[in-house]
Amino acid sequence: MKLRIGYGFDVHRLADGHSLFIGGVKVPSEFGAVGHSDADVLLHAVCDALLGALSLRDIGYHFSDTDPAFKGIDSKILLERVFSMIKEKGYAVNNIDTTVVLEKPKLSSYIPEMQKVISTLLEVSEDCVSVKATTHETVDSFGEKRAIKAYACCLLIKK
């Protein structure tokens, strides 16, 4: 059995007048993430983890933030495309482990829905997708509610 490990990270600025999408779920909030796409920091980190596991570069390489085709795109579409690349290489997802860093709003009640979205997109059971949320304890731009970040790691298995 051939195993590959990948790691991903993403960060977005937060601002009024934007929606907050995390893990494919629209989270009610007075502010949202700013980005070329829908700025879903969690799905972007998962994309980078998957791509990194197979040395396929990063999300920006495949979906440039200067390309108008990706302006406002739903990040679930980006994850679907990345997962297609993974399957083309003969791999499947064994599991994903993620962490979102956001001071507010609290994400605990949205995590099961995020797990469902991600597991569906990656064709694994929900218990193969870990989504954790934490704060930055009011430290720096993340703790001051000016930014959001996410970390992801994955284990891929050769089919």
Q: Which residues are annotated as a binding site for a divalent metal cation?
A: 10, 12, 44
Buried b (16+ CB within 10 A) or exposed e, 56-66: beebeebbeee
* Burial classification of residue 71, based on how many CB atoms lie within 10 Å of its CB (0-12 exposed, 13-18 middle, 19 or more buried): exposed
Annotated binding residues, written as ranges, equal 10-12, 36-37, 44, 58-60, 63-67, 134-137
Beta bridge partners of 13: 147
CB atoms within 10 A of CB 106: 11
Instruction: Read off the DSSP letter of residue 54.
Output: T
**Per-residue DSSP letters for 69-84?**
GGTT--HHHHHHHHHH
Q: What phi and psi values does residue 106 have, to the nearest 5 degrees?
A: -70, 140
List of residues 6+ apart from 150 with CB closer than 8 A: 8, 9, 10, 11, 22, 41, 42, 44, 45, 98, 99, 100, 101
